[in-house]
Structure 1
């Protein structure tokens, strides 16, 4: 592997901003892609196939660049834990989308930065939260409470039952917690010194095994109907999201200040809600729109750049 020093990380320029907006749109569309395929591919089986395809692509990428994936570097235990948490995240996402709308899932899932900030504050030295971040977390959690209240009062778009809708919303929050926990494990263990390809490979391979075993155990390892939409959706999830977009994100992190890039995270649920409404015909109440605005405000505050130099 090359030992050439990476350039000093800097504030995002116009190119980085365009890439981040593109990534947020890609990630926001993911929930729509998953939900549109649930009728053809059972959720857990769909998630397992996604991870399997993406893992093979990451393996090929790492091999072409000479990046070792199987060297014993003391990251196995942390890698397995990160993989299990990654699998838990997608169990919650895929099952949650059978109960609630893609728009609502996008908002609840992307509360992850708030849980990440809390986890890093408790488990990683030098990641103490500032007052503005504490305020952001309080604001975001208030928005979550308002959104749950809307779920009870307004009912579900996917199942016709307010209780089912709230269960789907809760799975979205749990997915955000699992995502945050994965980030904390990566930052607080030897994975922090591992290559991005190896870290991603751990998450994809372990989640592929966990998800496919669960699909087999629950009788979900089958294809109901093969449609062009299902094939395109699976390819999008595996190739565009889990492979290309994650590698681009890791590349950005090596060249730009992470805290400045993270500010863009609030755009992802905005794209998710927009795509859900435009492409799936989803609707939501004014109450939920207000709750989402409160959540997004909290996320923006949590990701507000600090005075110290970011890394």
Structure 2
């Protein structure tokens, strides 16, 4: 349970992305915003790091491109083209995508209850953040959905490959952020040209995104990634849109309607339900072994 609570801090920090990007960062520069979020803090974390072998470096950088490079680029494209709540809502599809990925890649057929719980979160976040007058930008819509796919695949590969036994989480995080950040830098230079002017608001936003929203959040995430299942991690990601909407209410003076409170309840039920189901599934083999042992003793 401690691992779950600690890991939940990462998506809560990620939930600040929409507010910071829309109010502090330069408009219409999603790739530079993504680059400033990932590359500086990644390089800083590698100042005293030891570079691993070519095999491990390729694996970690590949995961970094998915977890950071493509994910950040698509996320900020969606954020700039869609209201933050819409982009967050589409993030609710990640648990379903993670379940389907595990089914295809590992042959782990989802339990009906697990799939139902995952699907429950989508209308929940929809009730929480969608407004009747919303007009969806098709590019932003596709970008938001693909960002979830990129992160789901990156999380899966990170868990499958792991990291060298002698490599600390600090170095592992720095390598992923740097690998993804380099890809973002190339895309930003090609598609957006010169970096933005560093006004006070841009500097403040970039510092928050780099240090708290990325450096700290990803360090926490990668430190707990081996202790939780891919599905658990995906469900915890739902804390990000909940945080985004809550910040909008507190800082922008928004008020939740009864429908939005219903949505919040559905999301929380989905999160809690998945954790309880996972704990029950993990406990079953041990319980079965205990029953067999008891029978043998009895005989």
Post-superposition CA distance 1:40-77 (Å, at most 9, x none):
6822112112211121132136x3xxxx33323x2344
Aligned to 1:201: 174
The one of 220, 230, 237 aligned to 2:209: 237
Q: TM-score, normalised by structure 2?
A: 0.74
Name the counterpart of 1:158.
none
Q: How does 1:277-296 map to 2 (within 5 A)?
A: 277-280=249-252, 294=266
Q: Which of these residues, 126, 131, 136, is aligned with residue 117 of structure 2? A: 136
The alpha carbon displacement at 1:294 in A equals 4.8
Partner of 1:3: none
Does the Cα contact within 8 Å between 2:127 and 2:263 map onto a contact in 1?
yes
Out of 34, 39, 44, the position equivalent to 1:57 is 44
Q: Which residue of 1 aligns with 2:52?
A: 70
**C-alpha distance 85-281 of structure 1, shift in aligned 2 (>3 A):** farther
CA distance in 2, matches of 1:283, 1:169: 26
Please show how residues 1-311 of structure 1 align to structure 2 within 5 Å. Answer: 11-12=1-2, 17=5, 19=6, 22-39=9-26, 42-60=29-47, 63=49, 68-72=50-54, 74-86=55-67, 87-124=69-106, 128-141=109-122, 153-155=132-134, 162-164=135-137, 167-188=139-160, 190-191=161-162, 195=167, 196-224=169-197, 226-252=198-224, 262=233, 264-280=236-252, 294=266, 297-298=269-270, 300-303=272-275, 304-309=277-282
- The offset of 1:167, in angstroms, is 4.2
Over 3 Å counting, the alpha-carbon distance change for 1:178 and 1:96 in structure 2 is same
Q: Secondary structure at the match of 2:43?
A: helix
Number of aligned residues: 278
Distance 1:119 1:214 in 2: 27
RMSD (Å), alpha carbons? 3.6
Q: What SS does the aligned partner of 2:80 have? A: coil
Structure 2 contact 25–205 (Cα < 8 Å) conserved: no
TM-score (norm 1): 0.72
2:231 and 2:122 map into 1 onto residues whose CA distance is 23
Once the two structures are superposed, what CA deviation does each residue of 1:156-177 show, in whole Å capped at 9, x if it has no partner?
A: xxxxxx142x643442222111
In the TM superposition, residue 296 of structure 1 has moved relative to its aligned partner by 5.7
Q: State the match for 2:288 in structure 1.
A: none
Deviation string 1:177-231 (CA, Å, 9 cap, x unpaired) is 111011112123x33556444543343122212111111111343214x322211
Counterparts of 1:145 and 1:257, CA distance in 2: 26
Which of the two has higher C-alpha Rg? 2
Q: Deviations over 1:257-282 (max 9, x none)?
A: 66897465443321111113333567
Q: 1:261, 1:185 → 2: CA distance? A: 15
Say which structure is richer in helix.
Answer: 2
In structure 2, distance between residues paired with 1:206 and 1:284? 40
